[in-house]
């Protein structure tokens, strides 16, 4: 069984920084794309950032220049460095990944349980 576990959320003042981490565990052969999504109260879940296995990244316009996604393939981790945080960044942040398990013939999409980020003075 594959699991994704996020950490690093919390309360931060506007203009502050947080670093989210997501660790994948289980019988994993390979992890393809890894993403961060977020969902604010009353809003749909939205894609924040994506990183391919080779390190190609893409970001939502709302976070470009402020957030940086990175990954460590050996450690099976993905990170989201969030700088210059704004109140509108407040949301539950979810890790998402396409994982090829040893027992599978094709990748399966997995979600973490989410971590709360609150930006408020």
pLDDT at residue 104, rounded to an integer: 87
Q: Is the pLDDT of residue 99 over 90?
A: yes
Q: Is the pLDDT of residue 1 over 90?
A: no
Q: Is the pLDDT of residue 93 over 90?
A: yes
- pLDDT digit string, tens, across residues 50-86: 999 999 999 999 999 999 999 999 999 999 999 999 9
CA distance 89 to 30: 31
pLDDT at residue 34, rounded to an integer: 98
- pLDDT digit string, tens, across residues 17-42: 999 999 999 999 999 999 999 999 99
CB-based contact 15:85 (threshold 8 Å):
yes
Strands 115-119, 10-12: parallel, antiparallel or unpaired by DSSP? parallel
pLDDT at residue 40, rounded to an integer: 97
CB-count exposure of residue 43 (10 Å: 0-12, 13-18, 19+): exposed
CA distance 76 to 53: 11
pLDDT at residue 89, rounded to an integer: 98
pLDDT at residue 23, rounded to an integer: 98
The alpha carbon of residue 84 and the mean position of all alpha carbons in its chain are separated, in whole angstroms, by 17
């Amino acid at each position: 069984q594959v699991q994704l576990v996020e950490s690093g959320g919390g309360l931060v003042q506007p203009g502050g920084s947080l670093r989210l981490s997501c660790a994948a565990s289980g019988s994993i052969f390979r992890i393809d794309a890894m993403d961060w999504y977020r969902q604010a109260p009353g809003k749909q879940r939205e894609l924040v950032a994506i990183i391919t296995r080779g390190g190609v990244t893409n970001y939502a316009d709302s976070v470009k220049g402020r957030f940086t996604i990175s990954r460590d393939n050996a450690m099976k981790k993905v990170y989201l460095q969030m700088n210059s945080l704004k109140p509108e960044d407040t949301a539950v942040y979810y890790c998402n990944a396409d994982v090829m398990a040893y027992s599978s013939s094709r990748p399966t999409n997995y979600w973490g349980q989410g971590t709360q980020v609150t930006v408020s003075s």
